[in-house]
Amino acid sequence: MKKRPLSALLSILLLAPFLILSTNAEAPREQTLSKYSYMFFGTFDTAITLTGFAESRKAFDEAAALAEKLFNEYHRQFNQYYPYEGLNNVFYLNRSAAKAPVKVPPELFSLLLWCKEVQPLTRGRVNVALGSVLSLWHEERENAEFDPENAKLPDMDALREAAKHTDMDDVILDETEQTVFYQDAKLSLDLGAVAKGYAAELVAQALLKGGMPHFILNAGGNVRAGLPPQDGRDNWGVAIQDPFADFSLNADTGVLDVLFLHDLSVVTSGDYQRYYTVDGKRYHHLISPDTLMPADFMRSVTIITQDSGFADLLSTALFLMPYEEGLEYVQSLQGVEAIWVLNDGSVQMTEGARKMALSSGAAAQQ
C-alpha cells in the first residue's frame, strides 16, 4: 500500500462533496443538526474525509474517532506490504499460510470468504489471488520511481510463470476455525481491488447504525454516502474526475460531472493515477488476468451502487472489459449504474446514472 500523496490530494480535490455548488433554490429546512468535517491520513495510503450532520461537535467527534479507529484496524488487517506485531494480516498470510493454516481476524476472514463468493460474478476479471503477478508489476513500478531512466516492464516469462499460481480455489477457508491455508506455496493474495471499498462499507454501516447516519465518507475517491444532508438538500453531490484533464490544484478544473445521490457508493477505476512510463508509454496498475498486461479499453469507469465493497470490485471488473461487454454486464445486475470515459474522450452512462448527473439536469434537490 504505497504512499501516493499526489493522487490522494487529487482525490480530495475532485471527489470531496464540498466542491459542488451549494446554492439552494428552496429555503433550507429548519436545521436541527450542524455540519462538521474531519480529515485524517495514514490508512489505505490516502486521505480520508468524513462530513456529517450531528447534534453537537462532541457527537461528531465521537463518530469521526470511531471511523478513524475502524479504518486503522482494517488497514492493518488487509495490508499486504507491512507486518504488524501480533497480527495475522495479509502480509503474514502470504509468508506463512502455505506452511500451516493461519487464524485471522474476523473482518479479514469475512472479506476473503466474500471474495470467494463474488469473484465468479466478475467473469474472471478480478482475482484477489493474482498477487504473484501483481507483485512483479509493483516491483517495476517502484523501481521506476527511484530510477525512471531505467524503467522497464516485468519479464513476460516471469509473468506467465507467476500466473500459474493464482487459483483462488487453492485458498482454503475453514469457517469453523476461521483459518486460511494456501494449497499452493507460490500463491499470494492482493486485496487492492476490494480492500478500501470493503473497509469503507464496514465503516459506513457503523455510522449508519450509530448516532450520525447523515454523512458522506470519501476514502481517497471511494465515496460512500449515508442518509441525505440536513441543510435543505435531498442529496449529496459527488464530483467525478475527468481523466483527460491536466492535474491541477484548482478545484474548479478536472471535473467531468457531478452526481447527486444518497445512501449509495461511488467508486472509480482509471489509468491516470498509479502508473509509470517506459519508452514514452504509460503503464497503469490495473492488470488483466488474461493478458497479464494493463488493460486499454478505456480511461476510467465509475460504479454507483449501494455497497462500497461491491462498487470497488465492479469498477475494476468493468475497467478490464470492453465497453460493450461491460454495458451488457451492468444491465444484468440489480441496483448498479455506471459511467465510462472511453479512449476517444466520449462519455457513456447507464440510464440510472444519467438521472443522477448534473450534465443531464439532476440537482441536489429532487
CATH architecture of the domain formed by 90-182: Orthogonal Bundle (1.10)
Has residue 24 got a pLDDT over 90? no
pLDDT at 19 over 90: no
**Three-state SS string across the chain, please?**
CCCCHHHHHHHHHHHCHHHCCCCCCCCCCCCCCEEEEEEEEEECCEEEEEEEEECCHHHHHHHHHHHHHHHHHHHHHHCCCCCECCECCHHHHHHHCCCCCEECCHHHHHHHHHHHHHHHHHCCCCCCCEHHHHHHHHHHHHHHHHCHHHCCCCCHHHHHHHHCCCCHHHEEEECCCCEEEECCCCCECCCCCCHHHHHHHHHHHHHHHCCCCCEEEEECCEEEECCCCCCCCCCEEEEEECCCCCCCCCCCCCEEEEEEECCCEEEEEECCCCEEEECCEEEECCECCCCCCECCCEEEEEEEECCHHHHHHHHHHHHCCCHHHHHHHHHCCCCCEEEEEECCCCEEECHHHHHHEHHHCCCCCC
pLDDT at 227 over 50: yes
pLDDT band for position 364 (cuts 50, 70, 90)? confident
10 Å CB burial of residue 146 (0-12, 13-18, 19+) is exposed
Cα–Cα separations (whole angstroms), residue 122 to 192, 212, 307, 319, 355? 15, 34, 16, 11, 26
Work out the percent of the chain whose per-residue pLDDT is above 70.
Answer: 89
- Contact 348/342 with Cβ under 8 angstroms? yes
Cα separation, 259 vs 361, in Å, equals 10
Query: Which CATH homologous superfamily contains domain 5-79+193-360?
Result: ApbE-like domains (3.10.520.10)
Q: Give pLDDT tens digits for 254-296.
A: 899 999 999 999 999 999 888 999 999 999 999 999 999 999 9
Q: Cα–Cα distance between 241 and 14 in angstroms, integer? A: 6
| Beta pairing partners, 284 | 275
Q: Where are the domains of the chain?
A: 5-79+193-360, 90-182
Tell me how far apart the alpha carbons of residues 320 and 317 are, in angstroms, rounded to a whole number.
5
Instruction: Quote the mean pLDDT of the chain.
Output: 90
pLDDT digits (tens, 9 = 90+) for 93-131: 999 999 999 999 999 999 999 999 999 999 999 999 999
- Measured over the CA atoms of residue 278, residue 145, residue 274 and residue 128, the dihedral's sign is positive
C-alpha grid cell for residue 338? 455506471
Q: Which residue has the higher pLDDT, 32 or 265?
A: 265
How do strand 337-342 and strand 298-305 relate by DSSP bridges?
antiparallel
The set of cell numbers assigned to 342 is 472511453
